[in-house]
Amino acid sequence: MARRSQERGGSSESRASREPPLDPEEQARALCLRLLTGTPRTRRQLADAMRKREIPEEVAEHVLERFQDVGLIDDQAFANSWVESRHRGRGLARRALAQELRHRGVEPELVNEAVGLLDHEQEEETARDLVRRKLPGTRGLERDKRIRRLAGMLARKGYSEGLALRVVRDALAAEATDADSDDDAYPALDDPWQ
- Please write the tens of the pLDDT for every residue from 144-158: 999 999 999 999 999
Q: How many angstroms separate the CA atoms of 110 and 98, rounded?
A: 10
The string of pLDDT tens digits covering residues 83-131 is 999 999 999 999 999 999 999 999 999 999 999 999 999 999 999 999 9
Q: How many angstroms separate the CA atoms of 74 and 66, rounded?
A: 12
Q: Counting runs of H as helices and runs of E as strands, what totals does the chain give?
A: 11, 0
157, 92 contact by CB (below 8 A): yes
CA 27 to chain centre: 29
pTM, two decimals, is: 0.75
If you average pLDDT over every residue of the chain, what do you get? 86
